[in-house]
Every structure is written in structure tokens, then in C-alpha cells.
Amino acid sequence: GQQLNQSPQSMFIQEGEDVSMNCTSSSIFNTWLWYKQDPGEGPVLLIALYKAGELTSNGRLTAQFGITRKDSFLNISASIPSDVGIYFCAGFYSTNKLIFGTGTLLAVQP
């Protein structure tokens, strides 16, 4: 079935550092979404991307929809302790189903 691969699997950084993570697929996706999940909670939408090449920001977060439509990246600038969590990319491979990536665990040391 469809699969989205995220890297890195985990990151341990110092407060104030910038972070970059990416997501790749063997198939073309029409929409890329980035979510953050805190422990014991459901995922919360951070950024949605709808067009190839699109670059979108949400505060300290920036994400881009790859030109090939098979990849996307998420950058977090000047990380803070509350950025800790698991970040998932997700994409629609048909009009109805959202498929999640493998996740990137982010730990931020104050």
C-alpha cells in the first residue's frame, strides 16, 4: 500500500536551534499536510500544502510541497521546549483517504 517515509526518525536538539525534517513517497500526492502529536493526544494540523512548489509558513514553521509531488519538508526555526512532540507528514493519495508518515520524534533540551 501507500507509504510515506519520514526522516530523521528522531532528533535531539538544543533550544534555539533550527530543525528540518522531510517526507518522501514513491507515489504522487495531491496534498501534503504536517501534523504535530503530543503524548496521549490526537494530531493537530500545522500546515497544509495544496500545490507543487508551494512554500507556506505558520509562525516559526515553514513547509514546502516538492516539485515532483513526491516529497515535502518541514522546518522549525528557533526551537523552544514546547516544540517537543512527534511530527507527522500526511498526504491524500485519493480524494478520501489520508495516509500518515512514519513520524519524527523531536526532543528539545532547554
Footprint on this chain of other proteins (rule: CB under 8 A): 1, 31, 35, 40-45, 48, 88, 92, 95-103, 105
Closer CB to other proteins, 78 or 98, in the complex: 98
Q: How far is the CB of 56 from other proteins (least distance, A)?
A: 15
Question: Per residue in 57-67, is it b (16+ CB within 10 Å) or e — as a string?
Answer: eeeebbbbbbe
Closer CB to other proteins, 13 or 99, in the complex: 99
Alpha-carbon separation of residue 32 from 13, 36, 97 (angstroms): 25, 14, 12
Q: How far is the CB of 109 from other proteins (least distance, A)?
A: 20
Distance CA 23, CA 95 (A): 20
Pick from 48, 88, 57, 54: nearest CA to 69: 54
Q: How far is the CB of 46 from other proteins (least distance, A)?
A: 12
Closer CB to other proteins, 32 or 73, in the complex: 32
Q: How far is the CB of 78 from other proteins (least distance, A)?
A: 25
